[in-house]
Amino acid sequence: MTRRGYLPILLVLAVLALLPFAVTSNVVLNFVVFVLIITLAAQGWNLLGGVGGQSSFGHAAFFGTGAYVSAILQVRFGINAWVATAVAVAAGAAVGWIIGFLSFRAGLRGSYFALVTLAFAEVLRILANAAGFTGGAAGLLMKLDVGFWNMQFTSRAAFLWLALGFVAVGLIVSQMIANSRFGAQLVAVRENEEAARALGVDVLSVKLKAITVSAALTAVAGCLYLQYFLYIDANIAYGLWISVEALLAPMVGGRGLVLGPIIGAFTLHGLGEASKLLAGRVPGIDLAAYGAVLILVVAFAPGGVLGLLRKLRFRSQPVAKTAEETA
């Protein structure tokens, strides 16, 4: 175990934590909280899709399970928000393990894995939309009851720090994994599954561990979304939008890198807001910009924003890519 890589994380966290002292605009704080929630979902995706190379198109399955389990526990059973969140995250992790167990054991990878995760998320969406205890198509509305124990805050800053706390946990977990033996095994599976197996890596168990942690992180994002907006329905919680958000941010920021998701989420949503300002109130224009950014990144900057920065820094000397660096 090394202590490498924690300094940049600390810097990013410090800047965001001090933000509420510099800015009081609710619009800006709202924006930051929303982007932090997306960051959490993206950190989950990055662990499985970025570090492990198993691109999922259905992280909505974990986001939605987190949100729904937490909402049902609080609305129907009156359980404390913090306990509900903990149970919901465990439920999200369990769903991740089950989906992983079924699809990895069947040997699905690449496009097939992407499609099967998409299908699982769709099944959950249709079920949540039709079942009674999930509120059906009307969704679930939480009671507004501000207080620490209900995880509801009047000040946007308080919620920002809460979300940032979870993002910090996500960053530290990602960095610990990147520095660990498990992280190296995961990268080995991404680069060449057969070779990893030949070297004695238990591929199935490495992938299962990755998808479980990944699902848990994304489930936290679902829980936070619920606590912040106090309303979910099937198209929000299990919708394709969150699967795409979770995938886009790491791709744009830097796939497989610890800081990739947070950099990517802020870049994307910053660009989205900018295009909204430029184009006025045209619906869909920010999303069209995301799509264009995705195409441009894949075409011209496969390493994402962080990859570009690194290229600029090391322009004179060739970049040596070690497993730990790319993780």
168 contacts another protein (rule: CB under 8 A)? no
Among 39, 55, 179, 212, binds another protein (CB under 8 A): 55
Nearer to another protein, 200 or 283 (CB): 283
Least Å distance, CB 78 to another protein, is 28
In whole angstroms, the minimum distance from the beta carbon of 104 to another protein comes to 10
- Single out the residue of 195, 295, 309, 319 in contact with another protein (rule: CB under 8 A): 295
- Stretch 81-140 residues interacting with another protein (CB under 8 A): 102-103, 106-108, 110-112, 114-116, 118-120, 122-123, 126-127, 129-130, 137
Q: Is 324 one of the binding residues for another protein (CB under 8 A)?
A: no
State the nearest-atom distance from the C-beta of 151 to another protein, in Å.
32
Does residue number 169 form part of the binding site for another protein (CB under 8 A)? no
Question: Contact 179/1 with Cβ under 8 angstroms?
Answer: yes
Residues that bind another protein (CB under 8 A): 55, 102-103, 106-108, 110-112, 114-116, 118-120, 122-123, 126-127, 129-130, 137, 240, 244, 247, 251, 279, 282-285, 287-288, 290-295, 298-299, 302
